[in-house]
């Protein structure tokens, strides 16, 4: 699929304005040298699985800047990748190669990382350049330029991989903090777990927080903050967890361990957070708004034991009766469910379905329902543009992006995905596939 993106139009204007007036005036269109593309991969040499690299396509040209658009995309199979937004303007600069003066401009750039060990051939990128004649020449000509291929040879992480390794590849620091050191029972405390540094921050997983049985906690909320001026991912990843201590006294949150692999030192490193102690006092009222969200068991003294048992038995009988009625109503309304899903329905067949299979199923549905040819060959930005052109509503577009990001994060992390993460992904994938079938 061809892409004529808005920033490329800005590129034409900016590159034209960037050419010195003397050069522009001297260029009559005669003897113009052919433009060409250079492909570069920046990193530490031979990368480890999960280690981030930078893939750059740079256009070199002379004379007037051409109007450019993508003719084909690079093959990035087996590589996690994320295209870097070039921004509103793409600048060019003068360079000298083989005693000739050119102007160069970065056309496409990706962050990528190998998902497995072995060799990866990255090639197939082509660019269409349109040259518009000026001055004495009014001839317009079109050129297709192919970028050279590059080979990435990835090596596996050293064995044995430590237990608890969460997929971090880079150099990091780790800390934990709390917004309150003293609380009343039932009042919330927010704990922040933060990983800072340089590496695969967009896809690494922060270890789960362990709390005592007397403490309730909510699901973590994760926020990523990256330095936009850095070529490689650098910044912080923070997971915030809200807990509710339920008993007075000192509540101690045990230390947390974060393990990552340092590709420069070629070794695993372990960081520990300090334990946190929260002083919890008994409130004047036992039923605060927060504590009611996490109800306590009924207190039954010796004199109320029989009544408590009768009450529990009555509740259990009522629950069983309600469940029977609900099942009867569902069967009456929808009939007996089939034993297995239709093999052509596109649903995830069982819990052994992998993220790769789910991704392939979604791509297949996109191609079938929208007519977009080979959507798996498009970048995320290109796919979003193509879906919008097919009048796919923005909410569905965002759901597709969210599911693909989740899948890439699981594939990118050498530690893999937890069982809970796979369950959530299957549920999200099932909902998305049902929505795509209705297009």
CATH number of the domain at 179, please.
Answer: 2.60.40.740
Cα distance between residue 92 and residue 90, in whole Å: 7
Of 20, 57, 55, which Cα lies nearest the Cα of 35? Answer: 57
pLDDT of residue 39: 95
Together in a domain, 12 and 146? yes
Together in a domain, 174 and 252? yes
Domain-located, residue 311: no
- Averaged in consecutive runs of 10 residues, what is the pLDDT profile of the chain (439 residues)? 42 36 31 77 87 93 82 90 73 85 90 92 91 66 90 94 91 92 91 94 88 89 87 91 91 92 94 90 58 42 46 56 56 46 40 72 88 81 83 85 80 64 83 85
Q: CB of 82 within 8 A of CB of 380?
A: yes
Domain-located, residue 344: no
Cα distance between residue 299 and residue 283, in whole Å: 18
Q: CB of 178 within 8 A of CB of 239?
A: no
Together in a domain, 193 and 249? yes
Domain-located, residue 316: no
Which residue in the block uniquely carries the two structure tokens 């704990």?
A: 191
Together in a domain, 141 and 175? no
**pLDDT digit string, tens, across residues 255-268:** 999 999 999 999 99
Q: At 142, which helix (H) or strand (E)?
A: strand 141-146
Global pTM value? 0.58
Together in a domain, 181 and 74? no
Q: How far are the Cα atoms of 1, 4, 174, 351, 367 from residue 70, in angstroms, in the given order?
A: 8, 7, 41, 39, 20
427's tokens: 């549920």
Domain-located, residue 320: no
Domain's final residue, options 293, 311, 329: 293
Together in a domain, 137 and 171? no
7's tokens: 């920033």
Work out how many domains the chain is built from and give that number: 3
Domain's final residue, options 103, 130, 154: 154
Domain-located, residue 361: yes
Domain-located, residue 347: no
Domain-located, residue 336: no
Together in a domain, 135 and 186? no
Of 208, 15, 155, which Cα lies nearest the Cα of 93? Answer: 15
Q: CB of 169 within 8 A of CB of 260?
A: yes
Together in a domain, 150 and 46? yes
54's tokens: 């930078």
**pLDDT digit string, tens, across residues 370-412:** 888 888 877 777 888 888 888 888 888 888 988 888 887 776 5
Domain-located, residue 248: yes
Together in a domain, 120 and 241? no
Together in a domain, 142 and 13? yes
Q: Domain containing 96: what range?
A: 6-154
Q: What number of H helices and E strands is found in the chain?
A: 8, 20
Torsional class of 307: left (φ above 0), alpha (ψ -120 to 50), beta (otherwise): alpha
Total residues found in the chain within this entry: 439
> Cα 157 vs. chain centroid, distance in angstroms?
22
Together in a domain, 145 and 169? no
Q: CB of 422 within 8 A of CB of 404?
A: no
Domain's final residue, options 123, 154, 185: 154
Together in a domain, 54 and 149? yes
């Amino acid at each position: 699929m061809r892409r004529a993106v808005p920033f490329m139009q800005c590129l034409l204007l900016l590159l034209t304005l960037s050419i010195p007036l003397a050069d522009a005036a001297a260029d009559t269109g005669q003897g113009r040298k052919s433009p060409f593309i250079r492909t570069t991969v920046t990193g530490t040499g031979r990368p480890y699985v999960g280690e981030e690299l930078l893939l750059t396509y740079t256009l070199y040209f002379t004379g007037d800047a051409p109007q450019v658009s993508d003719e084909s995309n690079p093959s990035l199979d087996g590589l996690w990748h994320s295209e870097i937004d070039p921004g509103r303007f793409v600048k060019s600069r003068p360079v000298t190669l083989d005693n000739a003066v050119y102007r160069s401009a970065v056309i496409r750039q990706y962050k990528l990382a190998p998902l497995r060990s072995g060799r990866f051939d990255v090639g197939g990128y082509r660019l269409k350049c349109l040259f518009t004649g000026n001055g004495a020449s009014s001839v317009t000509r079109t050129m297709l330029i192919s970028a050279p291929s590059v080979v990435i040879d990835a090596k596996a992480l050293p064995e044995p991989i430590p237990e608890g390794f969460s997929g971090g590849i880079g150099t990091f620091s780790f800390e934990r903090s709390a917004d309150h050191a003293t609380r009343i029972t039932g009042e919330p405390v927010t704990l922040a777990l933060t990983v800072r540094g340089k590496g695969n921050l967009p896809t690494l997983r922060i270890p789960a927080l362990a709390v005592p049985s007397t403490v309730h906690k909510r699901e973590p909320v994760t926020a990523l903050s990256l330095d936009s001026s850095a070529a490689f991912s650098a910044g912080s990843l923070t997971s915030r967890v809200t807990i509710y201590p339920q008993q007075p006294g000192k509540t101690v949150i045990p230390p947390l361990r974060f393990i990552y692999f340092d590709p420069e030192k070629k070794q695993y490193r372990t960081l520990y957070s300090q334990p946190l102690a929260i002083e919890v006092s008994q409130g004047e009222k036992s039923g605060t708004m927060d504590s009611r969200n996490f109800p306590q068991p009924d207190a039954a003294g010796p004199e109320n034991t029989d009544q408590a048992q009768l009450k529990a038995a009555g509740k259990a009988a009522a629950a069983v009766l309600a469940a029977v009625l609900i099942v009867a109503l569902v069967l009456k309304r929808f009939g007996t469910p089939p034993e297995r899903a239709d093999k052509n329905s596109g649903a995830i067949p069982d819990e052994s379905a992998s993220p790769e299979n789910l991704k392939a199923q979604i791509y297949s549905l996109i191609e079938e329902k929208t007519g977009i040819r080979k959507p798996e060959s498009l970048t995320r930005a290109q796919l979003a543009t193509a879906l919008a052109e097919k009048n796919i509503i923005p909410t569905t577009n965002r759901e597709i992006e969210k599911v693909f990001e989740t899948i890439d994060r699981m594939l990118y992390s050498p530690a893999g995905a937890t069982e809970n993460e796979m369950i959530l992904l299957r549920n999200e994938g099932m909902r998305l596939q049902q929505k795509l079938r209705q297009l």
